[in-house]
Amino acid sequence: MSLVHVLGVVCFISVIYSAEGACKGCVTIDEFSFEKVLPQFEVTLLKFDDAYPYGDKHNAFVNVASEIADNKNIIVGQVGIKYYGENDNVDFSKRFGVNSKEDLPALRLFVQGEDEPFVYAKGMPWTEDDIKTFIRGHTTIYLGLPGCLEAFDKLALKFVSSSDQKSIVKKAEKEAEKLKAEKDKDSAKAYIKYMNLVVERGASFVNQEITRLKNLLSKVSEKKKAEISHRINILMSFKAPGQKTEL
Q: Of 83, 105, 138, which closes a domain?
A: 138
**Does a structural domain hold residue 16?**
no
My answer on whether 132 and 156 are in the same domain is no
My answer on whether 134 and 212 are in the same domain is no
My answer on whether 154 and 117 are in the same domain is no
φ, ψ (nearest 5 deg) of residue 152: -80, -30
Distance, in Å, from the CA atom of 111 to the CA atom of 65, rounded to the nearest integer, reads: 17
Distance, in Å, from the CA atom of 188 to the CA atom of 184, rounded to the nearest integer, reads: 6
Q: Of 113, 138, 163, which closes a domain?
A: 138
My answer on whether 132 and 41 are in the same domain is yes
- One DSSP character per residue, 100-152 reads SGGG-SEEEEEETT-SS-EE--TTS--SHHHHHHHHHHHSS-----TT--HHH
My answer on whether 120 and 164 are in the same domain is no
Range of the domain at 78: 22-138
**Does a structural domain hold residue 244?**
no
SS3 category, 153: helix
Read off the pTM. Answer: 0.71
- pLDDT, position 11: 38
DSSP state, 239? Answer: S
- Please give the average pLDDT of every successive group of 10 residues along the chain, which has 247 residues: 40 34 85 94 97 95 92 95 96 97 97 96 91 91 90 95 96 97 96 98 95 94 92 90 52
- pLDDT, position 244: 53
My answer on whether 226 and 124 are in the same domain is no
My answer on whether 156 and 85 are in the same domain is no
Domain count, the chain: 2
My answer on whether 134 and 179 are in the same domain is no
- pLDDT, position 110: 98
- Sequence-ordered list of residues with C-beta below 8 angstroms from that of 204, at least 6 positions apart, any chain: none
Q: Of 138, 169, 199, which closes a domain?
A: 138
**Does a structural domain hold residue 190?**
yes
